[in-house]
Amino acid sequence: MLKDQVLEALRAGGQCVSGQDLCRRLGVTRAAVWKAIQALREEGYLVRSLPGRGYRLGDLPDVLNSAEILAELPASCRLRELHCFASLPSTNDLARKLAIDGAPHGTVVVSGSQTAGRGRMGRSFFSPEGGLYLSVLLRPQTYPETLLPLTAFTAVAICDAVQRLTGVRPRAKWPNDLLISGKKLCGVLTEASIEAESGAVRHVVVGIGLNLSQSTFPPELEGVATSLLLSGVPVPRRASLCASILEHLEMALRACFDESRGVYLSRYLDDCATIGQAVTQTRGDTVRRGVAESVDSSAALLVRFDDGSLEAVNSGEVTLSRP
Ligand code: BTN
């Protein structure tokens, strides 16, 4: 689209780009350039007209679209088949549908809000405007056991991205939350489709929901959830954060599927606020208490129970005290 080409030229041009120059480079009329500039302004871009000199792009607005994300994504990142929306029922649901329709590895669904955001264990995920919601479709040629540390490694990637753009590193709460000041900033939902005959992984969808500039939460989340804004952390542009998450996620994926996992496991341990916390395990009528001591090679939580035994526990059977 011409407006995207004009935007690219303005970004590359730095200070000022003359209308004549734009017409020549893009092979279009002055009227067409003017129309494209108007369209960019309607999208929220600040394009100044400097008489006799041309156009200059002001500070970038918080526009969430493919052009903005791609402008900040390293060319080497394979997670770049972007589908962006202002609102969707659930990015994980659309990513799964695209997967069934044959979408490739690296397809990413991004939305500015969700009307039916989903969390773990059938819970809903509050997803108003002001957050960033994305799902990444992966097609690793592997078996389900290999996927076990993926949520933990994704948490490290999100911490890396948030830290790079805000200077503040969230903490991880095992198995799939990120916290700031002890409250939930982000949730990760990893879902996979397995081929029944061979047991091989057909596709994986990693869904990430981050609270950025929400200023209120419904009563049931008060005291439990927070946003960067409410925590006094600078709120980055959503497109920049999305690009940075994809860049760091790709490194985490390499660690999970292709390289040795040791570095990311120990990074997860460093980030994990659950270590050292009290844990309660409920199996039927049996309740056992212990303390989270570490994670194993699959990022399962290792709990030292009161009887002295050390066991890896399943996320569905334990409750954690709040860090
Ligand atoms: C949890 O907290 O239990 C996990 C929440 C995961 C939410 C994200 S938002 C993007 C993606 N789409 C969804 O419907 N859920 C995930």
Q: Using 50, 70 and 90 to split pLDDT, how confident is the model at 86?
A: very high
Q: Residue 125 Cα, ligand 1 centroid: separation in angstroms?
A: 6
Distance of CA 188 from the midpoint of ligand 1 (Å): 6
Question: Residues 6 or more apart from 256 whose CB is under 8 A from it?
Answer: 146, 147, 149, 150, 153, 264
**Sheet arrangement for strand 278-283:** 310-313, 301-305, 286-295, 278-283, 318-320
Give the rounded distance of the alpha carbon of 315 from its chain centre. 21
Q: Do the Cβ atoms of 36 and 6 come closer than 8 Å? A: yes
Q: Tell me how far the alpha carbon of residue 70 lies from the centroid of ligand 1, in angstroms.
A: 23
Residue 185 Cα to ligand 1 middle (Å): 12
Locate the ligand 1 atom nearest the alpha carbon of residue 89 and give its number.
14
Question: In sequence order, what are the residues at sequence separation of 6 or more whose Cβ sits closer than 8 angstroms to the Cβ of residue 286?
Answer: none
pLDDT value, residue 15: 78
Q: Average of pLDDT values for 216-227?
A: 94
Mean pLDDT, rounded, for 14-29? 89
Protein residue whose Cα sits closest to atom 9 of ligand 1: 209
Pocket test residue of 120, 183, 189 for ligand 1, highest count of atoms within 8 A of CB: 189
CA angle, 86 as apex, 80 and 89 as ends, to 5°?
A: 95
Instruction: Please give the C-alpha separations between residue 101 and each of 55, 160, 207, in angstroms, as whole numbers.
Output: 43, 32, 18
Q: Give the pLDDT of residue 219.
A: 95
The helix or strand, by DSSP H or E, that contains position 303, with its residue range, turns out to be strand 301-305
> What contacts 82, CB < 8 A, 6 or more positions away?
66, 69, 70, 108, 110
Lowest mean pLDDT of 54-68, 159-173, 289-303, name the range: 54-68
Token output for 189: 């939902």
Residues 195-204: what's their mean pLDDT?
A: 94
Q: State which amino acid sits at residue 61.
A: P
- Entry field: residues in the chain: 323
CA distance 265 to 133: 25
Q: 161 CA to middle of ligand 1, Å?
A: 18
User: For atom 11 of ligand 1, which residue has the closest CA?
Assistant: 207
- Determine the 3-state secondary structure of 321 from DSSP: coil
Cis peptide before 175 (omega within 30 of 0): yes
Q: Is the dihedral of CA 278, 282, 286, 292 positive or negative?
A: negative
The pLDDT tens digits for 260-277 are 899 999 999 999 999 999
Ligand 1: which residues within 6 Å by Cβ? 90-92, 114, 117-120, 123, 125, 127, 133, 135, 176, 187-189, 207-209
| CA 249/CA 262 separation, integer angstroms | 16
pLDDT in tens, 113-122: 999 999 998 9
- Cα–ligand 1 centroid distance for 157 (angstroms): 16
Looking at residues 92-103, what average pLDDT do you find?
98
Q: What separation in angstroms does the CA of 108 have from each of 104, 150, 238, 280?
A: 10, 17, 14, 37
Q: In this predicted structure, which of 131-135, 139-143, 245-249 has the lowest mean pLDDT?
A: 139-143
* Contact in structure between 207 and 189 (CB atoms under 8 Å): yes
- Summarised one tens digit per residue, pLDDT across range 150-171 is 999 999 999 999 999 999 999 9
- Report the residue among 133, 137, 154 best suited for mutation to probe ligand 1: largest number of ligand atoms under 8 A from its CB: 133
Mean pLDDT in residue range 290-316: 93
Bridge-partner residues for 118, per DSSP? 124
Mean pLDDT of 228-241: 96
User: Which pLDDT score is estimated for 146?
Assistant: 92
Give the rounded percent of residues in the chain with a pLDDT score beyond 70.
99
Ligand 1 centroid vs 8 CA: distance in angstroms? 32
89 pLDDT higher than 60: yes
Which atom of ligand 1 lies nearest, measured to the CA of 116? 14
Compute, in degrees rounded to 10, the torsion defined by CA atoms 103, 104, 106, 112.
-10
Q: 64, 125, 212: which to mutate for ligand 1, most atoms within 8 A of CB?
A: 125
Structure tokens at 308: 């002295």
User: What pLDDT sits at residue 315?
Assistant: 79
